[in-house]
Amino acid sequence: MDRYIAQRLDLADTLAPFRSQFNVEESGPIYLDGNSLGRPSTAVTERLADAVRDWSENLVGGWARWIDLPAAVGDRIGRLIGASSGQVVVCDSTTVNLYKLAASALAARADRQVILADAHDFPTDRYVLQGLAESAGRELRLLEGSVVDGLDTDVVAGAIDAQTALVCLSHVNFRSGARLDIAAITEAAHRHGALVLWDLCHSAGALPVALDDDGVDLAVGCTYKYLNGGPGSPAFAYVRRGLQAELRQPIWGWFGQHDQFSMASIYQPDGGMSRFLTGTPPVLGLLGVDAAAEILESAGIRALWAKSERCTEMLVDLVRARLEPLGATLASPSDPERRGAHVSVAHAQAWPWCNALIERRMVVGDFRPPDVIRLGPAPLYSRFVDIFDAVERMAEVLKAGVDDVRDRPKSPE
């Protein structure tokens, strides 16, 4: 592997033209943190400016265009995750959506005692389930898998039984990038009558997901990583059509109400996906997500994933060749079939190393405790040569040695 090969890959890359839509500062650091916060495209910047103009000029009249955004943008996200129309809404945060859907599932399996989750899942997932287990008097059973390779399908399947109410897992682990098998785990859960809730934060917009085909019950995810919707842009929620009428979520807001604008005295949830909405939707956030997801749709999720696979494979090879001799280790699955779209590198000095790379404007990745730097190429705007150069710079900094730094980063997912 040398730089020339990376350049050749870029020349042959059919997605390369998309980079011009993202205002990448060529003299800036190499950005490999699109798995935390994606870049704004020109279309997003323009759509947000248009939205503010619409608000200014049309004021409350804008609602004629805005009122259906949660469903319309949801359908667009749905096309990226294998969900046909009417099953996805964009609203609230991932945390709040996870709460609503997990609570709904527990209510629908009131006679079952156990929630299964991953001991190494992202904090908000574990915390929300802890809270629900406590309030609903259930047991949260956390499965221990490999920190690098994630949970084995057999381990998850073997833990599911007739007492399992809900299996709640992340498709791709936030730290290691380990990918679980949605189809197999969902099927195992259904064999025992349990419901499944998949967190797609680290896969929506990056990997092909087939929610309908895989028979998934529930899913949530954010829109600010690979979907490039903007910092804190609203999240999505998926509920399988056949389950919608049966599930009732706990936050009875007026956007979930049947015939909302009649303002009836008794809450009666909408018959379809709108019952999972709560309050007034965040219009600017929704419009940003819509413009951002449109580009992913036009690129095609299979093409994006094909490039992503080549990027992560290259990263893994380079980490092994250039960083492992310097004391770092690959902290992502070595089997490409078990990987998501980012690659993690462990090192005892991971935080000072990561911090030095950012401070010197060389490479932007992100640190996750205790000892990992995550590197997430984004197929729409990352080049193969960026990956090559990034690892060279990481090696350079590590060779020179890094000092310890006191402050810990505060970088959200």
**Catalytic residue positions, numbered:** 122, 199, 224-225, 374
Which of positions 332-371 make contact with its own copies (CB under 8 A)? 358, 364, 366, 368-369
Helix (H, G, I), strand (E, B) or coil at 73: helix
Nearer to its own copies, 90 or 148 (CB): 90
- Determine, following the binding rule CB under 8 A, whether residue 412 of this chain makes contact with its own copies: yes
- Determine, following the binding rule CB under 8 A, whether residue 257 of this chain makes contact with its own copies: yes
Nearer to its own copies, 269 or 333 (CB): 269
Q: At CA 217, angle to CA 215 and CA 218, rounded to 5? A: 130
Which of positions 259-288 make contact with its own copies (CB under 8 A)? 260-267, 278-286, 288
Could you tell me the smallest distance in angstroms from the CB atom of residue 342 to its own copies? 13
Report yes or no: 244 and 83 within 8 Å, Cβ to Cβ: no
Options 108, 251, 402, 405; binder of its own copies; rule CB under 8 A: 251
- Determine, following the binding rule CB under 8 A, whether residue 406 of this chain makes contact with its own copies: no
β-strand partners of 375:
343
Based on its alpha-carbon atoms, the radius of gyration of the chain, rounded to whole angstroms, reads 22
Which of positions 123-182 make contact with its own copies (CB under 8 A)? 123-124, 126-128, 130-131, 135
Q: What is the DSSP string of 262-276?
A: G--SS--B-SSGGGG
Nearer to its own copies, 2 or 25 (CB): 25
Could you tell me the smallest distance in angstroms from the CB atom of residue 327 to its own copies? 24
Which of positions 41-100 make contact with its own copies (CB under 8 A)? 44-45, 48-49, 52, 55-57, 59-64, 66-67, 92-96, 99
Interaction pattern, residues 286-325, with its own copies; x per rule: CB under 8 A: x-x-------------------------------------
Nearer to its own copies, 404 or 407 (CB): 407
Q: What are the two backbone dihedrals, phi and then psi, of residue 255, each rounded to the nearest 5 degrees?
A: -80, -10
Alpha-carbon distance of 174 to 349, in angstroms, equals: 20
Nearer to its own copies, 25 or 111 (CB): 25
Could you tell me the smallest distance in angstroms from the CB atom of residue 212 to its own copies? 26
How far CA 159 is from CA of 162, 181, 198, 405, in Å, comes to: 10, 15, 17, 42
Alpha-carbon distance of 99 to 356, in angstroms, equals: 37
What stretch of H or E contains 389? helix 384-400
What stretch of H or E contains 118? strand 114-118
Which of positions 13-42 make contact with its own copies (CB under 8 A)? 23, 25, 31, 33, 36-37, 39-40
Could you tell me the smallest distance in angstroms from the CB atom of residue 138 to its own copies? 14
Nearer to its own copies, 123 or 242 (CB): 123
How far CA 130 is from CA of 124, 151, 169, 194, 291, in Å, comes to: 10, 20, 14, 18, 35
Tokens of 162: 């007739």
Options 208, 250, 272, 300; binder of its own copies; rule CB under 8 A: 250
Rounded to 10 degrees, what is the CA torsion of 220, 158, 214, 378?
A: 50
Options 234, 333, 340, 352; binder of its own copies; rule CB under 8 A: 234
